[in-house]
Structure 1
């Protein structure tokens, strides 16, 4: 629980965390420096000022006591002598959070002053109407019953004015440290941002330019490792393309020769049922081979282009209608979508072909836009499957129970569709169709669609 609260309190980005840590460390160091300044520099200075001031007050008290009454009266009048201390004068200064450092120095001054003055000479601090110290002087010998209070100016060392510059300097250094840390972190974050963009380009099937490796050692090591990984992926992609081309050539060539040999080996007028069955098996082999090739080469290298998705749906529906399979179309106006034409055609064709093979009736395609996504739904009235079975169909080599009676498939059709949808930044969803049957939804984002 404590760890969870700490994680919530911390900023989310590395930049913000480093800036917060830097500010905290600078402020802590400044607070410690200010504490050392107050305790080891200002406090002794204020205590010395209080001792000197106490000596001055004691000397003044002795001088007044030895002065003739007439001259004393004139002198005490100049010192604003009063029989009672004013109400504005306090034994301890009023507390204020904003002026804590000044209150601290005043307390130190008063404590030290009282320690050096006789116990019967109390001191009061007046803040209202000017900073003054009221000291009760001893009663003169000719009037022992009448002690009086006089006002004296507060020494500068006791007012704490010298710390204003220190406080402002502390705040200025904290702000300067935060700004410097921000600029340093921005400089360090640039390689990380370049790495993020390059990684996204690699995931989209693109080949980014090599990252610079002239930055800090740690960042340079990460960039160098990423460049090595990119080169390894390019070599693996080249090997895969070469292997696919070899498989396609080396398998299709014997199949073609086998077809030709079968046609030439059968005499004229003989029963051709064997040839028809054999050619059917060869067609199935070639279909399976093509599905493997489609799954392996999922179109990452094909460049996305802006196009009309509804026009592609109408063209495919027209092609299937020419083969005797009518699709009911319900197409809404769609925003511009950037997609890979061949891959998207393969996606829609697979879905429509599945609806024909496994649904048979109630063939329909509809499209609409909602939020920041475009939806294409291909439906049929075939026997529905459970949610668990539908999700399993996204994995390679998985076939539904309604496909067990159909031969020639590999279970890669929906896996190909899922991969192409993810390549375009979208996803594949299964929904039960109202009444009966199944709808397969393809969800494609149109804001920054197709990575």
Structure 2
């Protein structure tokens, strides 16, 4: 039960958690320090002041009792003795958390004072109209029924003199410790933020600059391990590119020789059906090889530029129209979108080619933008697939049941689209099209570029 609600109460960021923990620890330490100060330092002082004050009161009581009646009247008048307590002396102070330590000292002083005074000499602490103690003295022998109350000043030790400054100093030191911890934690968080930004750049296919390793040992160790990982990834990428280039060259060279040998080996006037079939198979091999190359490359090294995405869509739609495939365009005004031109062209071509092959009718492309992203949707009227099947198509070598009748594919088309979209910081979504069919949405985040960044002519400016 505790594990269920405890994560909800904890702050989300490490900075906030450490600051909260530091504040709690500082508060606990200050509370413990004040508790020790009150119990082991201030309490003995107050009890000692109460004992001395009780001796003073008893001495005054004995002096009044021994004073002759004539002189006693002048003495009690000088001491402002009263036969009844004033109304403000009986008012109890309102409880206050801010003055809890004063209430504690008052209780300790009165309890200790009453222990040292006779039972028939009560003491009251007046808070209203000034701080003073009212003590009821014994009745004189010549007037046994006329006891009187005398107001005496409260000792400074009982009032907690100087304790206010100690508490304020303690709170100030606690706040200073919390502020210092906050500054230190912010300083430690800077390398973590740099590491986060570098990791995001790596996931986007970029090569970040090496992280500094001159900080604390723990942070420097993490930064050094990240730099080693980045270097290893760069080496692996270079090795993969070299290997793929070699494979492409080594496979395409014998394919070209095979085409030439077949053309030279066939005599004039012979049946060319075998050559046509063989040429078709060779084309399929080259198409599959190119798809593998496209998936392995996906344009990580291609620089991104702010450009007009609608212009690219219109150009591709015109190319497909020249091949007899008309796409209905519904393009809204888009702000400048950052994309890799060749990679984005490959993405859109794959989607439009899939719509032609697997949809066949109702071909359409539309675009629009929100405040945070630009959208491109390629739709067709083909048979729809379930959400699970559509998500599986993002993985390499996955083909939908509507692709079984089509040969020559490898199941890498949508995997290439997904990879390029993620390379641009976006993603791919599948939606059922109104009226039947399927729409594939490409979501591209809008990134603000400085004024010095080159923008192609005709690019609309963000609104």
Q: In the alignment, what sits opposite 1:436? A: 436
User: CA offsets, 1:334-363, max 9 Å, x none?
Assistant: 122111100110011111111222222222
Q: In the alignment, what sits opposite 2:326? A: 326
Distance in 2 between the 1:18 and 1:4 partners? 21
Q: Which runs of 4+ in 1 moved over 6 A?
A: none
Distance in 2 between the 1:159 and 1:35 partners? 17
1:88 Cα offset (Å): 1.6
User: CA offsets, 1:182-217, max 9 Å, x none?
Assistant: 011111111111111111111111111221222222
Does 1:150 find its partner at 2:155? no
Distance in 2 between the 1:432 and 1:56 partners? 96
1:392 Cα offset (Å): 2.2
User: CA offsets, 1:237-266, max 9 Å, x none?
Assistant: 011011111011111111111111112222
Distance in 1 between the 2:435 and 2:126 partners? 91
Q: In the alignment, what sits opposite 1:416? A: 416
Distance in 2 between the 1:424 and 1:358 partners? 26
Which runs of no fewer than 5 residues in structure 2 stay unpaired? Answer: 450-463
Q: In the alignment, what sits opposite 1:51? A: 51
SS at match of 1:189: helix
Q: In the alignment, what sits opposite 1:5? A: 5
SS at match of 2:301: coil
429-438 or 408-417, larger mean C-alpha shift = 429-438
Matches within 5 A, 1:340-379: 340-379=340-379
Distance in 1 between the 2:379 and 2:411 partners? 19
Q: Is the 8 A contact 2:338 2:447 kept in 1?
A: no
Does 1:108 find its partner at 2:82? no
Distance in 2 between the 1:24 and 1:196 partners? 29
Q: In the alignment, what sits opposite 2:25? A: 25
Q: 1:42–1:91: structure 2 CA closer, same or farther, 3 Å change rule?
A: farther
Q: In the alignment, what sits opposite 1:203? A: 203
1:296 Cα offset (Å): 0.9
Q: In the alignment, what sits opposite 1:281? A: 281
1:440 Cα offset (Å): 1.9
1:381 Cα offset (Å): 2.4
Q: 1:114–1:433: structure 2 CA closer, same or farther, 3 Å change rule?
A: closer
Does 1:263 find its partner at 2:268? no
372-381 or 195-204, larger mean C-alpha shift = 372-381
TM-score (norm 2): 0.93
TM-score (norm 1): 0.96
Distance in 2 between the 1:316 and 1:91 partners? 91
User: CA offsets, 1:215-240, max 9 Å, x none?
Assistant: 22221211111111111101100110
Q: Is the 8 A contact 1:91 1:125 kept in 2?
A: no
Q: 1:93–1:345: structure 2 CA closer, same or farther, 3 Å change rule?
A: closer
Q: Is the 8 A contact 1:91 1:124 kept in 2?
A: no
Q: In the alignment, what sits opposite 2:395? A: 395
Q: Is the 8 A contact 1:308 1:336 kept in 2?
A: yes
Q: In the alignment, what sits opposite 1:95? A: 95
Distance in 2 between the 1:95 and 1:434 partners? 70
272-281 or 87-96, larger mean C-alpha shift = 87-96
